[in-house]
Amino acid sequence: MRSFKGLFMLIITNLLVFLTLAISGSILINFVLPAFGIDLRGSVATYQFAWAMVFGFGGAFISLWMSKPMAKRMYKMQQVTNPSTPKEHLVFNTVKELSQRAGIKMPEVWVYWDDAPNAFATGPTRNSAMVAVSSGLAMAMTEDELKSVLAHEMGHVDNGDMVATTLLQGLMNTFVYFLAGMIARLIASAGSRDGEMNIMLYFIVNMVLQILFSILASVVVMWHSRHREFKADAYAARAYGSENMIRALQRIEALSQRTASPDEEESSILAPKDALATMKIHGTSDGLMALFASHPSTEARIQALRNM
């Protein structure tokens, strides 16, 4: 019942996002911009590119804006404001210390109940972020290891990774929508004597091309995700030492192999099981699927830390 409720809420949310972007895009392109002397309606390519930008960047930034509420709905979470246990004190005080060092507003601190050892950071800006830690990670790690993991997540916050990823995702989305639409228009209009477009053919080709181009775009986005993991690891190494971060990664790798189920390991390129996968501390894929992995291998991360 809970999964059906979550699916229903996801569908409703996507519909509301689509309607919001459609209405705001229509007002922007047809009324606001022409009022300032910018008329994009005369050229099919320009008009379609404008719409691609509305949906590409609009969808990405709405997802960023909703990232904190989404995370809180996905997990059974509890915010730590007045720590009561030794581990809660450690997590809270470490995040506070790191945020003061970075000169940013302290992120919200949350814990969630999950045996899988993981942590993530998300939020629309550096000064409006959250850091969450699973119970499995908090209980299994030593003090130095846990502090290193928290420093890794604070590295994402301080480096502005959420906004950078959103901008890249928006750019990729824009080109996906634009190229798919233009090619579909050419195919749907080919062979027509009066220049009329076959709407059904346009819709089918557009959907197929969007899927194919999205797969290619995800290679770029995931490359960026892997690159920022190395930077966050380096941030943690500077904060608490590279050896502590190495030990944390080794422990997470060992624990993840023990707790992962086959269902959790399987995910589709088009529909990843965990929408927050790119924000977490750990994740691996082998072979060709490594192109679509949000995280580098543990071995590569450890080697990079040793090379510092």
pLDDT digit string (tens) for 223-251? Answer: 999 999 999 999 999 999 999 999 999 99
Indicate the pTM of the whole model: 0.82
Q: Give the separation between CA 122 and CA 109, rounded to whole angstroms.
A: 11
Starting at the edge strand found earlier in the chain, the sheet holding 77-79 runs 77-79, 108-112, 128-134, 119-125
Tell me, what's the pLDDT at 12? 73
Taking the alpha carbons at both ends of the chain, their separation in whole angstroms is: 49
The structure tokens listed for 252 are: 């997470």
- Regions of the chain with pLDDT less than 70: 1-11, 13-14, 191-195, 259-287
At residue 125, φ and ψ (nearest 5 deg) are -145, 170
The structure tokens listed for 270 are: 């088009």
Which residues are part of the catalytic machinery? 153
Taken as a whole, the chain contains a residue count of 308
Nearest residue to 121 via CA among 102, 140, 139: 102
Tell me, what's the pLDDT at 255? 85
Beta carbons of 148 and 244 less than 8 angstroms apart: yes
